[in-house]
Structure 1
Amino acid sequence: MSEEMNQVEVKSFEIGDSVTGTVTKVEEKQVIVDIADSKLDGIIPISELSSLHIEKAGDAVEEGQKLELEVLKVEEDALILSKRKVDAKKAWSELQQKFESGEIFEAEIKDVVKGGLVVDLGVRGFVPASLVESHFVEDFSEYKGKTLTFKIVELDQEKNRLILSHRAVVEEEMGKQKHALLDSLQPGQILEGKVQRLTDFGAFVDIGGIDGLVHISQLSHEHVQKPSDVVEEGQEVKVKVLNVDKENERISLSIKETLPGPWASLSEKAPKGTVLDGVVKRLVSYGAFVEVFPGVEGLVHISQISHKHIATPHEVLKEGQEIKVKVLDVNEEEGRLSLSIKELAEKEPETVDYELPEESKGFQLGEMIGDQLKNLKN
């Protein structure tokens, strides 16, 4: 009678049937479950517990846990079941929806393998190394057990292929921040930034998720030969927003305009009467422009070049010549500096011609000759 009942029970299950079972025993390589409305034992081999490789059955389930299972094989005294197949069927349906909608979701990194990361989403999901972060990562060992956000970038159920990307989520978020920042920027703003990279024509500075260009002419008040003479990568700097091109996502910045100008406090550095070293930069018809500090040129008017009358400055000076000058007047607001070369040069004495009286001409000569003859006789 019992055998007949068992036969009936066994025949009532077919391969592919869905059943519900409660875990009654967890062994190392398999799990025993109690199947509702059945006297047959259910056995789940370790390979059918998870889409990922596990070392022992206890890594996937625990006693008392209720599971939805699929019948793989009907044996005389047991049903061979799969949890993995049920999980995968549910997962593919949900994943297809996530893929089509572009949904962002969280998942735990279950393993780190050669070439990337592995996650369990009911099916095995793979994250290639190039799709983990927006920057290069040398060692992924610390990612195991970490929870990250992902988007599905490739899904093929027939090939059991599921490719995920965390980088896509990061870059999408960066894109949103970038547009928000572009909308908030206004010319004239002073911001904190970090120098990201240097080029021949300037420096790119990160101002909070977006890079702006500081042209070489905007690095310093002084003439700059190459950007590396003034700034270095990683340096924290203050920048002023010059222009924002939202359409092309270009931002022009200036470091120079956040720094004190060359004329600032000039009246303290070079008050009236100060003697300075300078270099003649330009000669014009009315005088010479002399650089006395980086970015500060003063005018030596033609009348202040020499005590002698000169028609043009070129008669006395040449460009590039080093000279000393005296400060006559300073006007910081207007950026004007009056200088003098003449006041440091000694005035040459005037030549005076003295006429001898008519009666003395020739007399002195005769007297001198006579004196000489007397000396010879003696």
Structure 2
Amino acid sequence: MSESSNEMPQLNIGDIVTGTVVKVEEKQVLVNIGYKTEGIIPISELSSLHIEKASDLVQEGDTLELYVKRMEDDEVILSKKAVDAEKAWESLEEKYRTGDVFETEIKEIVKGGLVADVGVRGFMPASLVETYYVDDFSDYINQPIRVKIVDLDREQNRVILSHKDVIQDELNEKKHEVLQSLEEGQVLEGVVERLTNFGVFVNLGGIDGLVHISQLAHEHVEKASDVVAEGDTIKVEVLSVDKDNERISLSHKRTLPGPWANIEDRVTQGDVLEGTVKRLVNFGAFVEVFPGVEGLVHISQIANRHIGTPQEVLEVGQQVKVKVLDVSEKDERISLSIKELEQEQEASEVKQYEKDEDQSGFQLGDFIGDKLNKYK
């Protein structure tokens, strides 16, 4: 330098000076600060994070703001870390106070969590990384991540970060938005999240609603897995919304064609169907011929003889053949008969018997006729 020694700046411990990097060694950096000797930044004073060699952080020609940490004889020990930390703490205290979300980079994986560079060493416990369990954190190294500060203590040099809280806040906001937008009667698509013995929970894009097992299908459902599986996308209708308790009741059944839809295309008068006796009443029997479709066999149509009660002939659960007398989609009604099938069966048997008789009678007549002719 051209300055004489009496023009050298006065340096004191605690001063902040600006210097230019003149040499980068493995474990220290030499800096020109306009003093009679070059300042030394030990590697431990370069960053609050662990670095292997000084060149990982600074290069020759870099201009740095530095804190005068120690002066021994003509040796000046400087710290970049102290200046960065001072600036960082002011910023971190403000972010902590306001709950700001900001982006940082993960620099290390340590026991129990991750370390981020937030100007000082920020620690993120493993439990605060995601809303779910993470087995391997290697993908997070040198990656940007959005965080908020959940605990701060300058005296203890403690900064606790959370990415999980950021995600949770966003989920809660989304949940609130979806909840406010829901109305009774809306038809939406959702993803089946969870099956239980009483129904299924469906994610509507931020909040779950319950489809009770009775609302899964028009027919009786024994267990939810008979109808849906986790991960299925299904249509649902909103039955009710309790915004205070965040409870949503849904129906999948209401989005499906009813069991009676297009019944007249599937069944016509005179068809013979198989069904199951579901209920016996004093005026007849209800027989299920399709899932959710029951037809009435009036007591007068149960048997080809007079009966006092349907129980004399039928029992619940019995499989029976029935003939369709009449069908109406509008009235959701099918009239059925067992008696007509019995009568037809009897008539068929009689006809077959008569046919057999006719054939044997005819042959016998021929035989007798031949014999008689001989006596003519």
> What CA distance in whole angstroms lies between the structure 2 residues aligned with 1:218 and 1:102?
43
Q: Which residue of 1 aligns with 2:21?
A: 23
Q: Give, in whole Å, the separation in 2 of the partners of 1:251 and 1:285.
A: 41
Q: In the alignment, what sits opposite 2:54?
A: 57
Cα distance in 2 between the residues matched to 1:147 and 1:119: 9
Shift of 1:272: 1.2
**1:1-378 → structure 2 map (5 Å cutoff):** 5=5, 12-36=10-34, 38-346=35-343
Structure 1 residue 291, shift from structure 2 partner: 0.9
Q: Give how far 1:163 is off.
A: 0.4
Question: How many angstroms does 1:9 deviate by?
Answer: 5.1
CA contact (8 A) 2:5 2:36 kept: no
Structure 2 equivalent of residue 364 of structure 1: none
The TM-score with structure 1 as length reference comes to 0.86
Distance in 2, Cα, partners of 1:333 & 1:148: 60
Give CA deviations for 1:98-133 in whole Å, capped at 9, x if unaligned: 111111111111122232211111110011111111
SS, match of residue 58 in structure 1: helix
Unpaired runs of at least 5, structure 2: 348-376
Structure 1 or 2, whichever has the larger Rg, is 1
C-alpha distance after superposition, 1:199-255 (max 9, x if no partner) = 111111111111111111111222111112221112222222221111111111122
Aligned residues: 344
Q: Distance in 1 between matches of 2:320 and 2:148?
A: 70
TM-score (norm 2): 0.87
Q: Distance in 2 between matches of 1:107 and 1:147?
A: 5
Measured in 1, the distance between the counterparts of 2:172 and 2:203 equals 14
For residues 71-113 of structure 1, the C-alpha deviation after alignment (integer angstroms, 9 at most, x for no partner) is: 1211333311001111112211211111111111111111222
Are the aligned partners of 2:297 and 2:335 in contact in 1 as well (CA < 8 Å)?
yes
- Residue identity matched to 1:228: S
Runs (4+) of structure 1 exceeding 6 A deviation are none
Quote the offset at 1:313 in angstroms.
1.9
Provide the rounded CA distance (Å) in 1 between the counterparts of 2:42 and 2:102: 30
Structure 2 CA distance, aligned partners of 1:25 and 1:273? 102
Q: 1:172 deviation in Å?
A: 0.6
Partners of 1:325 and 1:317 lie apart in 2 by: 13
Q: Which amino acid aligns with 2:160?
A: I
Say if 1:9 and 1:40, in contact at 8 Å, map to a contact too.
Answer: no
State the alpha-carbon separation in 2 of the partners of residues 140 and 235 from structure 1.
30
The Cα shift of 1:171 comes to: 0.7
SS of the counterpart of 1:133? coil
What 5-or-longer segments of structure 1 have no aligned partner?
350-378
Letter in 1 for 2:19: G
Give 1:306's aligned amino acid.
A
Deviations 1:45-68 (A, max 9, x none): 111000000011112222222211
What letter is aligned with 2:220?
A: H
Shift of 1:13: 2.1
